Structure 1
């Protein structure tokens, strides 16, 4: 899901910042956005930005799922 204008306040992250959190390449984050796995916002210059809150929720979900697999 790609929006052009932020619908609520909050910090926006770059693909590089998101990639650091997930320990993946920034291009992977861009592919996730294109596939709809994570929502993104386009800046007027055409760059992707990601809502910090949504990124943290996805990271927590994936971390929980991975922990459940180990147990």
Structure 2
């Protein structure tokens, strides 16, 4: 990876996911993702139209943690 590529990635805005996209990653219903956000289990932001969006980096971190916990039997 070149310095230019690293700089471009660093300056690019965070990728935002819809509840449906998050649900597909976790293999749950989108309403479950909304409940997680309401309960504070996963952070979300609201669009100007009031829709929830989730930061991809946070979603991936949670998915990695849950996968790791499942593999270790926690």
TM-score when scaled to structure 2? Answer: 0.82
Q: Quick check: which one's helix share is greater?
A: 2
1:1-71 correspondence runs (5 A): 9-69=13-73
Tell me which structure has the larger Cα radius of gyration: 2
Runs of 4+ in 1 over 4 A off after TM superposition: none
SS of aligned partner of 2:31:
helix
Q: Gaps (5+ residues) in structure 2?
A: 1-11
Q: Quick check: which one's strand share is greater?
A: 1
C-alpha RMSD of the superposition: 1.4
TM-score when scaled to structure 1? Answer: 0.85
How many residue pairs match? The answer is 63
